[in-house]
Amino acid sequence: MVREKIIDSFFKRKNRDNEEVESLRHTSATNSHINVESVDKDEQRIEPSSVQLAQPPPCKAPRIEQERINIDIDTLIRDPGKRPLIWNYCVNQQDEIRRAYIKLGPYQILMDMYPLSGQEDRPRRFQAHWYKAFHWLEYSPEEDAVFCFPCYLFSKKLSPFTTKGFRNWKKVNNGKDCAFLNHMGKSPNSSHNVALRCYEDFKNHSCHIENVLSKLTEQQILSNRLRLKTTIDAVRWLTFQACPFRGHDESLTSRNRGNFLEMIKILADYNKDVKEVQKEIREEIGNSKFCLLVDEARDESKKEQMAVVIRFVDKSGYVKERFLDIVHVDDTTSSTLKQGICSILSRHNLDIQNVRGQGYDGASNMRGGLNDLQALILQECPYAYYVHCLAHQLQLVLVASSKEVAEVHTFFQTLNKIVNVVCSSCKRNDELQTAYENEIIHLVENNEIETGRGANQTGTLQRPAYTRWSSHFNSICSLLRMYNATILVLEDYAVKGSSSAQRGDAKYCFKAVMSFEFAFILHVMKEIMGITDKLCQALQKKSQDILNAMCLVSSTKALIQKLRDLGWDSVLENVKAFCNIRAISIPDMSGSFADLIRSRRQEDAVTVEHHYRVDLFNAIIDFQLNELNSRFSEQATELITLSTSLNPKNAFKSFNARDICSLVEKFYPSDFSIQERIQLEYELQHYEFEVLKDVNFQNLSTIGDFCQKLVETSKSNSYPLIDRVLRLVLTLPVSTATTERAFSAMKIIKTRLRSKMGDDFLKSYMIVYIEDEIAEKFTSDMIVDEFDNVKPRRLDHKK
């Protein structure tokens, strides 16, 4: 009977393999012996030592790990000409060797006289000052050669600077052919530069992957244990007490959602993250005056949510905008919103009398009349000055100009239709990208465009969104970039469309993009919106102050005015060049302004066309300028005008002590007593004599920088009243961008799949999600992710 084989026999090594392993193990143990002599620290002399290292085994042989060597920093071979290569050490020991050598640093021995070498008629020697120019150099007295310290530690590429050493001194300091420079290489990805980056990264021990993974793993373990422990405790208690898990009504409006969910809710109350974050924000605010930034929006479950953000200046002089709370409101009337704001402030122990600013988006319920929200807040605190969100004001300016000028309104309607026709179908969108890729290939072959990493991405046409006016600029830029590809797709679709309606839409859009009128408005709006987009992006910054924002508004108006005065010729030339490339018919506009009056009488079509284009160009810009000039109330304008006296720009050129006193007396009388107002006048005299002439304050550009510098130099203790004025002005709101970011986070957290999430869970998530900078300080995590959609399995106990 044949003996059955067990499964171990199929994986058992043959005797030949075992003998080979034993032979290799004996060879490795013999060759891994290293004699390391000690270092004579007094004379910086290193005695020679014999180092024999095991060669790597053949690739077919099994891998045998070398014997570990006990490392002692004092016994390491310092001379780079005598030490073994880092790759010859045991793999598991290489990092330990690197760390020891890095602690000792490059071996840069100083000698009174280095040995001569080279040609007999012109011998040369190593120069000690090369250490300063090339900090990575190491010198070996034994070999009279230099080595590269980072390459020895991390480079796998063999070179004279890592193996035998470099000693051809005549090739050093030889201009572009310098051997040291050639070793470093011009490319950031040269072997030396890569080794240097590895060297710097290795020294930064806190960023090592094992530490990062260990930290994340520990946090994840704690979070998972907390969640699991909560669930287990609830299940065990209910099981031992023979209590049912489910309730009769587990809806969000139910007062009793069942034993399991109610117990989870109680245990979740022990979570400290949300309370700790809000406590941290409250401690940051302290007794500072603050500004309210408020906005409302609907969540996925059609609930109206009001977000409240607090803007204040912290103890270090930095402007902070912190998400404080979100509350569900039954309606968006001003009285309901005001009641919600007061309840939030009361809950966080914030006095409404400390409000010194209000920032809203300009809706009618916010600032529309006598009973709007800002008026109701002013009744409680008369110094809570309202500033209309500058980002929304800019949007209203652009919207107004587009509505007032019929040609611009028609242009954006046509632009939206073009995007719909080209991008609404996946097939046409693929055709658009293919046409654009072919165009890029053709331009690259003719050297008409530059190439590089991240350049010439395909993308698609961007759709303009009326709630975000900056999206119109992106839409215009995308069409300009893909204009030729868009023409090809529309022309093809106008012939091959599946229905007459689709062919008609494509034919209308093709006719529009091939018209001079469309190309002209496209370029004009691109110039105008390119200027305003810079302002739009700057207004989104949390630390932006009102004075700097107004300076940006002024510079934007100046650039638009410059475009009106001097930009016509350049815009017209750009449009003509654009149309010539694409065979777009250009009307004859060779008439001059000098012939304008005569041309009108003679009905010269050429000059009339020219005059029409100029009038349209000026009308578009004039509407922009008029809207920008009429968006601020008299009170806000006066407040900002007086505040400019604090602007440190151009070495405090705008400083005016009288205006600062007027600012305090007229707008902040409750923050300064009569005695303090008198003291402020004398404090300003000393301030003008000392601070304005201090070199530390000469290169400041914003009052935010000024406030931080006062705290940094401890001048805020010497000039406390001026510091107080600065903080009050910095509290004035600029835009409601932070509240809009909160609603973006709300859409991420409360999705269609989680539309039943309760308000308390939503608030908890949003606070931790938005203020993650503060939340990271606490190691605990949410006990439960969400139990609104959880339907626990019913346990029936059979008796």
The per-residue pLDDT for 776 is 61
Residue 642 reports pLDDT greater than 80: yes
Residues 433 and 442: their CA atoms lie apart, in Å, by 14
DSSP letter assigned to residue 414: H
Dihedral of alpha carbons 643, 646, 651, 655, sign:
positive
The per-residue pLDDT for 756 is 66
Residue 527, C-beta contacts closer than 8 angstroms, at least 6 positions apart: 563, 567, 571
Residue 52 reports pLDDT greater than 50: no
Q: Look-up: residue for tokens 């160009």?
A: 617
Average pLDDT over all residues of the chain: 78
3-state secondary structure of 155: coil
Give the CA-trace dihedral at 498, 502, 504, 510, to 10 degrees: -100
Answer for the pair 108, 141: CB distance below 8 angstroms, yes or no: no
Tokens of 144: 């009279």
CA distances from 541 to 168, 281, 339, 397, 610 (A): 56, 19, 29, 20, 42
Of 387-401, 689-703, 770-784, which range is least confident? 770-784
The per-residue pLDDT for 454 is 56
pLDDT digits (tens, 9 = 90+) for 157-185: 888 898 889 988 888 877 777 888 889 88
Residue 62, C-beta contacts closer than 8 angstroms, at least 6 positions apart: 17, 21, 24
Of 208-212, 410-414, 636-640, 691-695, which range is least confident? 208-212
More confident position, 37 or 447 = 447
Phi-psi domain of 86 (left: phi exceeds 0; alpha: psi -120 through 50; beta: other): alpha
**Per-residue confidence band for 120, with pLDDT thresholds at 50, 70 and 90:** confident
Residue 787 CB coordination number (10 Å):
19
Tokens of 209: 């992957």
The per-residue pLDDT for 795 is 36
Dihedral of alpha carbons 732, 737, 740, 745, sign:
negative
**Per-residue confidence band for 209, with pLDDT thresholds at 50, 70 and 90:** low
pLDDT digits (tens, 9 = 90+) for 676-709: 999 999 999 998 888 888 888 888 888 889 999 9
Residues 192 and 147: their CA atoms lie apart, in Å, by 12
Residue 270, C-beta contacts closer than 8 angstroms, at least 6 positions apart: 783
Alpha helix stretches (DSSP H) within 250-313: 259-268, 273-285
The per-residue pLDDT for 47 is 40
Residues 609 and 606: their CA atoms lie apart, in Å, by 5
Of 129-143, 416-430, 711-725, 768-782, which range is least confident? 768-782
Percent of the chain with pLDDT over 70: 75
Residue 601 reports pLDDT greater than 70: no
Answer for the pair 710, 726: CB distance below 8 angstroms, yes or no: yes
Amino acid code (one letter) for 435? A
7-11, 603-607, 674-678: which is most confident:
674-678
Query: What value does the mean pLDDT take over residues 764-782?
Result: 63
The per-residue pLDDT for 369 is 57
Total H helices, total E strands in the chain: 33, 9
Residue 10 reports pLDDT greater than 90: no
Query: What value does the mean pLDDT take over residues 499-504?
Result: 89
Backbone φ and ψ for 295, nearest 5 degrees, come out as -155, 155
The per-residue pLDDT for 659 is 92
